[in-house]
Amino acid sequence: MTGMRPRLSLYLLGLGLALAPLPAAASGLSPLERNLTASVDRHLPESLALLERAVNVNSGTMNFAGVRAVSALFAQELDGLGFRTRWVDGAGWGRAGHLIAERGSGGSRWPKVVLIGHLDTVFEPESPFQRFQRLDDSTAAGPGVIDMKGGDVIALLALRALRENGVLDRLHVVVVFDGDEERPGAPLAAARADLLSAAEGATAAIGFEDGDGDPYHVIVSRRGSCGWQLRVRGTPAHSSEVWSSRVGVGAIYEAAHMLEQFRDSLGHEPYLTLNPGLVVGGTSIAHDAAESRGTAFGKTNVVAESTLVTGDLRTLTVEQREHAQAVMHRIADSASPHTVADIEFEQGYPPLAPTDGNRALLALVDQASQDLGLGALTPVDPGHAGAADVSFLGGHVPRIIDAMGLKGTGGHTVQETGRLRSLPWQAKRTAVLLERLANAGDARH
C-alpha cells in the first residue's frame, strides 16, 4: 500500500485544487466557457498524475531513449484526443527527434493554431535530481516540472476540455513538442525545419514555457541569442619589446582592447547584451568547443601570440543583431599595428520582436483571464525572457505569445519547483482563449 500513497495524495491535492470555485468575477464567461472550466477541473487529478509520470522519466536532451519515452507518454494522450501523431527522427541533427500532432486539416474553414512545448530537460541521467516530489498541498519539485513538462500537460488539459465540449472540432490545431530545446541539435536550421513547416498558415502560436515564473505575466517578445568567437594574433617577442613600434601590444592586450570597444560601442543599447564567457591567451592555446574548455601556455617574459574569446550576443530584433554584428566586425577589422583579428558568429536562436499581433493575442488572453476571475495579464520584460523555440515563428505567424506553462521557481537547477495551483489557471486561460479564437474564425466565414 505504500506505493499507493503518493498517487492518492496527488489525487486529493488535485481534487482540492479543482473544487476551488471560480471567483464571482467569472460572470464574464459564456455558458460554454463555464463548461470548459468545469472540464479542466474534472480532469485535473489525472493531469497531475500525468505530470508526475512524465517528470519521473529522465529526458535529458542527450538521453534519446528518455526523450522518446516522454514523447510516447504524450502521444498516447494526443491519440486519445483524435490527433494524428508522428515522430520526427532527429538523427540528421544529432538529437532524439520531435513529436508532432495534428487535428483538423489545411483545407478547413477553422483557424490554425500551433501549440509549442518540448520534451527534454537539462537533467541528464547522471544528475542527482531525478524524481517528482510533492512538497506541500500546492507545490512540487522535480526535473522539468516547470521547464517544461508542466507546460506540456497544461496544453493537453486545455485540449481535453475543448474536445469534451465540441470546440476542438472548430479548430485546426498542431502540437509541436521538440526534443532538443535545452541543447539544440546542429545544424539548427534542420533541427527547427519541422517546427516551421508545421506552423505554415497558422494564425496564432502559443508557447507553454514557464516564462519568469509570475502567473500574471505573458511573453510577447524574447531576445534572441547567437554565439561569437574572436581570434587575435600578435607578434611574439621578448616582453621588453611590448608596446614598441616593432612588436606592438600583443594578442592579449589587443583582445582586451577590442572587448572594451565592444562595450563602449554597444553597451548603451536597450535589451542588447554582449558577454565574453571564455578567454584563452598566451604563446600557444587550445580550445575544446564541445566541452567549453581551453588551455594555454605562456611565459611572463614573452609577448602573447594568440588569444581566443568566446561569448554570446543577445538582441531584441533581427535589425539590432545585424547592427551589433556589423559593429563587432568593424572593430575586429581595425586591429592595432602588428596584430590581426577575425570574428565569427554562430547561428543561434532568433529574437521574437514585440509586434502588434503579439500584443493583440496578449489582449485576448488577458480578457479571458479577467473574465475567469483570474486577474489581468501583463507582458514580461524581454530582458527577463531568454531564447525559446517559439521565437523561430517570429515573422512567420502573425500572433505569438509564450509563458502559458506551469509557473514556479528554480528552473535549470535542482531546486526546480512548480506551483501546482497555476496548472488549472493556465489550462483555463488557454481553453477560453482557443474557444474565442475558434469563434472569431467562425465569424469570418
What is the residue type of 313?
L
- Alpha carbon 147 to its chain centroid, in Å, reads 8
Q: Is the peptide bond before 187 cis (omega within 30 degrees of 0)?
A: yes
Whole-number pLDDT of residue 11: 41
Residue 95 makes CB contacts below 8 A (sequence gap 6+) with 61, 64, 67, 179, 180, 183, 184, 185, 191
Q: How far apart are CA 211 and CA 218, in angstroms?
A: 7
Q: How far apart are CA 82 and CA 102, in angstroms?
A: 9
Whole-number pLDDT of residue 364: 98
Whether residue 50 has pLDDT greater than 50: yes
Q: Which residue, chain included where needed, has cell 513529436?
A: 99
Whole-number pLDDT of residue 108: 63
Whole-number pLDDT of residue 7: 42
Q: Which range (104-113, 167-176, 197-206, 327-336) has the least confidence? A: 104-113
- The angle, 0 to 180 degrees and rounded to 10, between the axes of the packed helices 422-443 and 31-55 is 130
Q: Which range (16-30, 35-49, 54-68, 107-121) has the least confidence? A: 16-30
∠ at Cα 376 (372, 379), nearest 5°? 130
Whether residue 19 has pLDDT greater than 90: no
Whole-number pLDDT of residue 106: 62
Q: How far apart are CA 289 and CA 154, in angstroms?
A: 37
Whether residue 9 has pLDDT greater than 50: no
How many Cα atoms sit within 13 Å of 60 on the Cβ side? 13
Gyration radius (Cα) of the chain, Å: 25
If you count them, how many residues does the chain have? Answer: 445
184: left (phi over 0), alpha (psi -120 to 50) or beta: beta
pLDDT in tens, 57-111: 999 999 999 999 999 999 999 999 999 999 999 999 999 999 999 999 766 678 9
Ordered domains of the chain (ranges, CATH): 2-222+352-443 (3.40.630.10), 224-345 (3.30.70.360)
Q: Write out the DSSP string of 169-213.
A: GG-EEEEEEES-SSS--SSHHHHTHHHHHHTTT-SEEEE---TTS
Quick count: other Cβ atoms within 10 Å of Cβ 246? 9
3-state secondary structure 11-42: HHHHHHHHHCCCCHHHHHCCHHHHHHHHHHHH
Q: How far apart are CA 409 and CA 255, in angstroms?
A: 38
Please name every residue paired with 401 in a beta bridge, in sequence order, or none if there are none.
Answer: 206
Q: Is the peptide bond before 148 cis (omega within 30 degrees of 0)?
A: yes
